[in-house]
C-alpha cells in the first residue's frame, strides 16, 4: 500500500512521521526492569548503555567524554570545535554562556556573529593529539568526529593519536558527493584503508543509508535538522521526521545484511530526542543506539553550562542554528540513571528505557526493535522543561 499523498496536481509526496506521531503498545508479557539488558556492541567495543554524546561543544568535552565512558556510554569529541582551536577553551565556553540576548526570540544575530568569530580560530593539530590522548589515558573508548570537509586534512593526526572509533558527521553525508571545484572524499576507499571502525552520517532515508553501508561503515547516523538548536528546517527547508527516517534506514540495514552475506551495520539515531520517551521510540523504530545532544547538555558537567549549540550555528555564510537555553537538571549520572525528580523525561534516561522494555516484555535492544507501535499524533512537548 502506497503512503503517497497528492499535494497538488503537479506534486506528490510520501507521508512521514516524527517520533511524536508514534506510541509503543504493550501487548506481551512483562518483565522486571532488572532483567533487561540495554547493552550494545559496535565492532569490538561493547557498551553498557546505547547512548553516545554528540560531538557538540556544549555537550562533549574531554572530561565529559571520560565521564560518559565510565558510566557505560560513548562520548564523541568534536575535533573541529573549541577544544582543538584553543589551549584553554573553558574561558571561551564561559563567554558563550554569558552572552546576553537582546532579542525577544532565540534568534539573536549578535550572538550568532560572536559564535562565528570565536570559531574562526584555526584548528591546531597538536590540540587534536592532546585531547585524544587525555581521553585515552583515562582508559575509556575514544571517539572523535570530523566533518567530511575536514577529514582528509586531519584524519592522519586523529588516527595517530589513538582514536578507537572514527566518526564522520555532517548535516547530511552521501557516498556520492559531487563537486566541480574540489576533490571529494572517497568514503569507500577512505574507510577501507582505515584500521578503526567508522561511523558516518547523517542519512535521512533508505537509499543514502544503503550507499553509506556499502562503503564499509560500521554505523550510520540517522537524522537531519531535528535538534533543539537546529534551524535547518527554517533556513534550508529540509527536514527528515525521525520515526520514518529511522525505520527507512533500518530497512536498508535489513536488506544490506542479505546483500552482503550477513554484515550488520549499526543504525544510530542522531538528533530530535530531547527526552527519554524519544529515546525509547527511536530504539523501537529500529535504532541500535542514540546520539544525544540536548538531553546531555542538561547535565551539570556539560561544558555549555545550560546552553546548547551545534556547528551549524557557526557556519560563516549560512548559519543554521541558535544558542538554545536548555537548563540544567542534575549530574550526568542523574541524567542517565537517576534518581529522577522530573516528570518530563529529562533524567533517568536509561531507567526509562529499561522500564519501557520491561513493560512490553522485551529483554534486549534487538528484541525491542520488534515492539508494536501505533500512530498517536499529539502536540510535542519534547523540549519543554
DSSP-derived secondary structure for 23-50: EE---S----GGG----EEETTEEESS-
For the segment 321-360, what is each residue's pLDDT rounded down to a tens digit?
Answer: 889 899 999 999 999 999 999 999 999 999 999 999 999 9
Task: Say what the pTM is.
Answer: 0.93
State the number of CA atoms in the 13 A half-sphere of 86 facing the CB.
Answer: 14
Pick the closest to residue 144 from 62, 78, 205 (CA basis): 78
The pLDDT confidence band at residue 179, using thresholds 50, 70 and 90, is: very low
List, in sequence order, every beta strand (DSSP E) within the chain: 4-8, 11-14, 22-24, 40-42, 45-47, 51-53, 74-78, 143-146, 165-169, 198-203, 219-222, 266-270, 289-292, 307-308, 324-325, 373-375
The values of phi and psi at residue 87, to 5°, are: -65, -40
Q: 259-272 as b/e, with b when 16 or more CB fall inside 10 Å? A: eeeeebbbbbbbbb
What gap in Å lies between CA 363 and CA 60, rounded to an integer? Answer: 30
Are the CB atoms for 236 and 225 separated by under 8 Å?
yes
The pLDDT confidence band at residue 311, using thresholds 50, 70 and 90, is: confident
pLDDT of 236: 74
What gap in Å lies between CA 291 and CA 222, rounded to an integer? Answer: 9
- Taking the CA atoms of residue 193, residue 194, residue 198 and residue 202 in that order, the dihedral angle to the nearest 10 degrees is -50
The values of phi and psi at residue 145, to 5°, are: -125, 140
Amino acid at each position: 500500500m502506497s503512503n503517497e499523498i497528492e499535494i497538488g496536481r503537479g506534486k506528490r509526496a510520501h507521508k512521514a512521521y516524527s517520533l511524536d506521531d508514534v506510541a509503543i503498545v504493550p501487548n506481551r508479557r512483562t518483565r522486571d526492569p532488572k532483567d533487561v539488558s540495554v547493552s550494545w556492541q559496535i565492532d569490538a567495543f561493547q557498551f553498557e548503555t546505547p547512548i553516545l554524546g554528540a560531538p557538540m561543544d556544549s555537550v562533549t568535552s574531554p572530561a565529559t567524554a571520560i565521564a560518559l565512558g565510565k558510566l557505560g556510554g560513548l562520548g564523541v569529541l568534536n575535533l573541529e570545535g573549541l577544544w582543538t582551536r584553543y589551549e584553554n577553551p573553558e574561558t571561551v565556553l564561559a563567554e558563550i554562556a554569558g552572552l546576553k540576548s537582546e532579542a525577544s526570540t532565540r534568534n539573536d544575530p549578535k550572538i550568532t556573529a560572536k559564535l562565528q568569530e570565536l570559531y574562526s580560530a584555526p584548528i591546531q593539530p597538536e590540540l587534536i593529539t592532546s585531547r585524544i590522548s587525555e581521553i585515552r589515558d583515562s582508559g575509556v573508548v575514544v571517539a572523535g568526529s570530523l566533518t567530511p570537509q575536514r577529514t582528509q586534512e586531519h584524519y592522519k593526526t586523529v588516527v595517530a593519536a589513538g582514536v578507537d572509533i572514527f566518526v564522520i558527521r555532517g548535516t547530511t553525508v552521501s557516498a556520492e558527493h559531487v563537486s566541480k571545484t574540489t576533490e571529494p572524499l572517497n568514503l569507500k576507499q577512505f574507510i577501507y584503508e582505515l584500521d578503526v571502525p567508522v561511523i558516518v552520517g547523517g542519512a535521512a532515508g533508505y537509499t543514502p543509508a544503503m550507499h553509506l553501508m556499502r562503503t564499509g561503515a560500521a554505523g550510520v547516523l540517522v537524522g537531519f535538522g531535528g535538534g533543539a538548536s537546529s534551524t535547518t528546517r527554517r533556513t534550508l527547508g529540509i527536514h527528515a521526521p525521525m520515526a520514518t527516517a529511522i525505520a527507512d534506514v533500518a530497512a536498508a540495514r535489513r536488506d544490506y545484511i542479505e546483500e552482503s552475506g550477513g554484515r550488520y551495520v549499526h543504525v544510530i539515531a542522531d538528533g530530535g530526542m530531547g527526552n527519554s520517551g524519544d529515546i525509547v521510540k527511536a530504539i523501537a523504530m529500529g535504532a541500535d543506539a542514540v546520539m544525544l545532544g540536548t538531553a546531555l547538555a542538561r547535565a551539570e558537567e556539560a561544558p555549555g553550562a545550560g546552553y546548547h549549540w551545534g556547528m551549524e550555528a557557526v557556519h560563516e555564510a549560512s548559519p543554521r542554528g541558535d544558542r538554545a537555553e536548555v537548563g540544567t537538571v542534575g549530574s550526568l549520572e542523574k541524567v542517565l540513571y537517576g534518581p529522577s525528580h522530573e516528570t518530563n523525561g529529562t533524567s533517568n534516561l536509561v531507567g526509562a528505557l529499561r522500564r519501557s522494555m520491561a513493560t512490553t516484555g522485551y529483554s534486549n535492544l534487538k528484541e525491542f526493535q520488534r515492539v508494536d507501535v501505533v500512530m498517536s499524533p499529539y502536540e510535542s512537548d519534547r523540549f519543554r522543561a
